[in-house]
């Protein structure tokens, strides 16, 4: 599992979309 900044941002974005 790579902790890349891009992947991290994508995960955060998906989380925000799920919250909305």
Element at 3 (helix H, strand E): none
Per-residue pLDDT at 4: 85
- Answering whether pTM is above 0.85, one says no
What CA–CA distance (Å, rounded) separates 20 from 5? 22
Residue 2 — left, alpha, or beta (φ > 0 → left; ψ -120 to 50 → alpha)? Answer: beta
Helix or strand or coil: residue 1?
coil
Please give the chain's pLDDT, 20 residues, in tens: 566 889 999 999 999 999 87
Residue that is written with structure tokens 């790579």 in the block: 2
């Amino acid at each position: 599992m790579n902790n890349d900044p891009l992947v991290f941002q994508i995960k955060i974005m998906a989380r925000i979309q799920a919250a909305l």
